[in-house]
Structure 1
Amino acid sequence: MRELLTLGRYFKKQFGQRVRKIPISLQGFTCPNIDGTVARGGCIYCRNESFSPSLKKLDSSIHQKINFSTTNNPLLSLQKKQLQEQFQWHADFNKDKFDVQKYMLYFQSYSNTYAPLDTLKAIYDLGMQLPNVVGMSIGTRVDCIKDGLLELLQSYVQSGKEIWLEYGIQSVYDKTLELTNRGHSTKGIPELFEKTRKHNIKICAHLIYGLPYEDEEMMLNSLKTTLSWGIDGIKIHPLYVLKDTQLAKMYKNQEYTPITLESYGNLIIKSLKIIPEDIVIHRISSGAHDDLLLEPKWCFDKNIQMRYLREKLLQIGIKY
């Protein structure tokens, strides 16, 4: 039976023990398709608070945002304080409940490289100094990598840290990216991935299955194309509909039909047959665990997804 190289197994192999990713969300971060730089409103499906527990705890009275053009970041002291507090809470929880001793910081919400380099360096430097932190994984976009960032991240690799950039690809079809208001195309992604690898930074690509008007062939082609660009890990998410999003309007107007669990399961099976065995599987499930979720209802509970997927995979000799 083939045993998938899940993120947990990868960490165990790399560090000889369990490593837990700690989600970090900091005040002031945003995306260029939210603040008007390339678009407004964000992705048609996105409500960051639905997948980040840390984001819900931030001070909602603070509306200051930072981006590449910020010259003096008034939020830096607060951001560093939030990083330390969020880390300590999650580290204590995982140590007490699961006896986990090592941690990866996961900068999760919004585009976490969309800030001045001096801000990023101050935050990342602090993060790398926190106790028992073996590295960090940074969620970002392909249009949010400025000069100097890869060199900065490479310096942490050279000091012995594990560094991942998690690039949100979602689809390799520019029509889909335009429809979903991503604010960028696929142009330049292969070159960016090559440049990232040359700096010894690991790449995790994010894909979404079930995007509007995409069929199975298109979704699998997004996977094959992304693999051809050269990656170290992958996340695949089902698309779900959240309240107060543009996708919710499309759903209510019968312009969008959510993917079924059966279709998603079949796609995952076909995907795992394509993905090389040395690619780290960071995630194959996702959902919203509150009343923001409209459809599909099976995305309310990740345990439902994983039980179904594990059973399907065992039938073809794959252990998740």
Structure 2
Amino acid sequence: MHRRHQAMSLKLDIFEYRDYLQKSYGEILYRVPIDAGLGCPHRRSDNKGGCTFCPEDGARAVQLGDAEQIEEQIEKGVRFAQRRYGATAFMAYLQAFTNTFSSVEQLEELVKKICSKHNFRAIAFGTRPDCLPDEVVDFLRTLNNRLDVWIELGVQSCHDKTLKRINRGHGWKESCEAIIKLHRADISVAAHLIIGLPGEGLEEYLQTVKKVAALPIDAIKLHNLHILEGTKLADEYRTSRFEVLSEHEYAEILLQLLPQIPEQIPIIRLTTDSPPSGLLAPQWSMSKGQFRKYLATQMRARTVAQGCALRDNSAASVRPPSTVQDRAVVTEDSSVTFYNKRVKEHYHTLAGARSEAENKFCTPSGLEEKLKRDQTVRILDICFGLGYNSLVSCELAIENSAALEITALELDRQVVERAAREIRMKNNLFDWNNCLDILCRDGRWQHRGCSIELLWGDARYTATRAGANFDYIWLDGFSTQKNSELWSVDFFRTLYPLLKSDGLLLTYCAAIPVRSGLMQAGFHVGETEPFGRERSGTIASPNQSLITRELPERDLHLINSVKGIPYRDPSGTRTNKEILRAREYEILRAKGAGAGKQ
């Protein structure tokens, strides 16, 4: 019936490097990593020193194993790509250490050896901005006449303070000069940037991306910072425990950075791969594929695409709406709801969208009485959707000349945009369409003592950024079988400390696993009057005295059976299917063990 994190295509709305290769060569060139053992000019003769994030092996590819000879490395790399990806065309990638740290004669011999082993279509050299002398660039220019040459340049950041802190050994000036020098030599440049370096935040990341994108680069590679065992950065992290990015935090940053990257610049990658055994932090729960799917979902729902902030039109920061439109439905009280075609559920009961906000949330919570009594009332509205719960609450506040502060959480920008166009509810209190328009554009609306702040994103993450001391939480996701991410005991544990001690959580949902999960999270749980269906709603509070209508005996019995096993999402990153499947397995185990919940 309500809002959820919609399952969407895995395809990211970015210009991926593999698409560039397909367009340029008629097929994808798969990289064959090579460790030529050229070392690094920024390390001492004993291999110590260098960048604080760099491991002793200079970021040697895992699939090379213990292969030392270049011929063996190439054979292993080609075989790996053929077996895993069905690859038929290849690019040699000199990845580990600094691969222009050599004489021209040595580089010529190295390239000759590489090309004699396999018919590569292109070759990429990973290197540093301060290791590109004129004679090496001249060699690369000549080589580029017979074999496509790429330079993968470790820029990392545009901030000299950061570069000094990580002992990079060069500054931003050297990166700019190297990129321009290579461009003039007609050599393709891919800039590498690390997101999450200590001392930096969103403002610094944006500055770096904008400055790098303004230079004549041909591709960009973004790395989320990995702290590897055995590095100086690992020592620093153990001492100071600076913040590292979770998958949710990194996704939020990418949603800000990608719109600033011109859409014609290919993106080689967005995440880092490191052997789990050597990774100190961060420890993600999502796999690389799961993160891509999560990011794609966020981008689609929030109308974000690569380069969208740079488009020359009035909606520069917004991509075109999805071709899959929700269907508008007029409910019995004449208010409009939508039918979500992906989820196959309505956002509200057909008995009335507006009436549901009144009868499931505002009335049973005693909101009007509290507005008359308290100086300011605060609401956390989870799954803002079409806005009824928040906007009806604002009407009550204005009618009673009361102050109301609402923090609303929503993933799907498109549903709010469409609600702003199609819900016509103008009265002498305020214009709903104008309110929704402003929220879509600015994320914040204020009028006659009321305010709404709209936070876009996965509620499991944005709830942790919403503040605390709420009088009410409205929880209005889609059904448990379609949106279990927001019905887990772990999410309820996130919500519990956000409420005041006399606060109330209300939801339309009466599912046994939900009521059980609320109880396990520390809430006292009761029910509210039914509306639009036979089942009652649910009310929960840290304060037992506020629960005036207890749960029926039948529900209490079921809560103490296997049916009361809650939905679980301990990492806050599981998909709907993963949560449902895990609960099914837990029920089977409980039944098999005769675990007393019979």
Cα deviation for residue 290 of structure 1 reads 2.4
Cα deviation for residue 54 of structure 1 reads 5.3
Cross-structure match for 1:122:
109
Cross-structure match for 1:57:
66
The gaps in structure 2 that reach 5 residues or longer are: 1-10, 307-598
Cross-structure match for 2:71:
84
Bigger Rg, which one = 2
Please tell me whether residue 178 in structure 1 is matched to residue 164 in structure 2.
yes
Cα deviation for residue 299 of structure 1 reads 8.0
How many angstroms apart in 2 are the aligned matches of 1:141 and 1:272? Answer: 24
Matches within 5 A, 1:104-143: 104-143=91-130
Cross-structure match for 1:100:
87
What's the CA shift string for 1:38-94, capped at 9, x where partnerless? x951211111546522565155xxxxxxxxxxxxxxxxxxxxxx2222112222332
Change (3 A) 1:96 1:209: closer
How many angstroms apart in 2 are the aligned matches of 1:23 and 1:2? Answer: 25
Cross-structure match for 1:77:
none
Aligned residue for 2:121, secondary structure, equals strand
Moved more, 251-260 or 39-48: 39-48
Tell me, yes or no, if the aligned pair for 2:63 and 2:77 is still in contact at 8 Å.
no
Tell me, yes or no, if the aligned pair for 1:25 and 1:54 is still in contact at 8 Å.
no
How many angstroms apart in 1 are the aligned matches of 2:235 and 2:139? Answer: 41
Q: How many residues align?
A: 295
Aligned residue for 1:220, secondary structure, equals helix
How many angstroms apart in 2 are the aligned matches of 1:214 and 1:119? Answer: 38
Q: 2:243 aligns with which of 248, 257, 268?
A: 257
Please tell me whether residue 195 in structure 1 is matched to residue 205 in structure 2.
no
Please tell me whether residue 229 in structure 1 is matched to residue 239 in structure 2.
no
Cross-structure match for 1:26:
36
Identical aligned residues as a percent: 28
How many angstroms apart in 2 are the aligned matches of 1:319 and 1:57? Answer: 41
Please tell me whether residue 47 in structure 1 is matched to residue 55 in structure 2.
yes
| TM-score, length of structure 2 as denominator length | 0.46
How many angstroms apart in 1 are the aligned matches of 2:63 and 2:100? Answer: 18
Matches within 5 A, 1:302-317: 302-317=288-303
Change (3 A) 1:168 1:247: same
Matches within 5 A, 1:265-284: 265-284=251-270
Cross-structure match for 2:201:
215
Moved more, 112-121 or 249-258: 249-258
How many angstroms apart in 2 are the aligned matches of 1:36 and 1:90? Answer: 29
Cα deviation for residue 146 of structure 1 reads 1.6
Q: 1:35 aligns with which of 44, 58, 62?
A: 44
Change (3 A) 1:183 1:220: same
Output the amino acid matched with 2:88: Q
Cα deviation for residue 3 of structure 1 reads 4.1
How many angstroms apart in 2 are the aligned matches of 1:238 and 1:256? Answer: 15
Moved more, 296-305 or 143-152: 296-305
Please tell me whether residue 153 in structure 1 is matched to residue 140 in structure 2.
yes
Output the amino acid matched with 1:26: A
Output the amino acid matched with 1:45: F
The gaps in structure 1 that reach 5 residues or longer are: 60-81
RMSD: 2.5
Cα deviation for residue 96 of structure 1 reads 4.2
Cα deviation for residue 18 of structure 1 reads 2.3
Q: 2:152 aligns with which of 166, 178, 192?
A: 166
How many angstroms apart in 2 are the aligned matches of 1:96 and 1:207? Answer: 30
How many angstroms apart in 2 are the aligned matches of 1:229 and 1:266? Answer: 25
Moved more, 101-110 or 221-230: 221-230
Larger RCO, structure (CA 8 Å, separation 6 or more): 1
Change (3 A) 1:9 1:274: same
How many angstroms apart in 2 are the aligned matches of 1:107 and 1:228? Answer: 26
How many angstroms apart in 2 are the aligned matches of 1:247 and 1:172? Answer: 19
What's the CA shift string for 1:259-304, capped at 9, x where partnerless? 2222211111211101111101001000322211111111884234
What's the CA shift string for 1:76-128, capped at 9, x where partnerless? xxxxxx22221122223323443321100011011111112111111113323
How many angstroms apart in 1 are the aligned matches of 2:300 and 2:197? Answer: 27
Output the amino acid matched with 1:140: T
Output the amino acid matched with 1:5: F
Change (3 A) 1:319 1:86: farther
Tell me, yes or no, if the aligned pair for 2:255 and 2:304 is still in contact at 8 Å.
no
How many angstroms apart in 1 are the aligned matches of 2:175 and 2:227? Answer: 27
What's the CA shift string for 1:180-216, capped at 9, x where partnerless? 0111112233232122012111010010111111111
Aligned residue for 1:286, secondary structure, equals coil
Tell me, yes or no, if the aligned pair for 1:107 and 1:138 is still in contact at 8 Å.
yes
Cross-structure match for 1:74:
none
How many angstroms apart in 2 are the aligned matches of 1:44 and 1:110? Answer: 14
Output the amino acid matched with 1:233: A
How many angstroms apart in 2 are the aligned matches of 1:284 and 1:203? Answer: 17
How many angstroms apart in 2 are the aligned matches of 1:255 and 1:95? Answer: 41
Moved more, 274-283 or 41-50: 41-50
Cα deviation for residue 306 of structure 1 reads 2.3
Aligned residue for 1:218, secondary structure, equals helix
Moved more, 272-281 or 147-156: 147-156
Change (3 A) 1:93 1:263: closer
How many angstroms apart in 1 are the aligned matches of 2:181 and 2:227? Answer: 35
How many angstroms apart in 2 are the aligned matches of 1:145 and 1:117? Answer: 11
Tell me, yes or no, if the aligned pair for 1:269 and 1:313 is still in contact at 8 Å.
yes
Moved more, 162-171 or 292-301: 292-301
How many angstroms apart in 1 are the aligned matches of 2:257 and 2:119? Answer: 34
Output the amino acid matched with 2:256: K
How many angstroms apart in 1 are the aligned matches of 2:144 and 2:204? Answer: 35
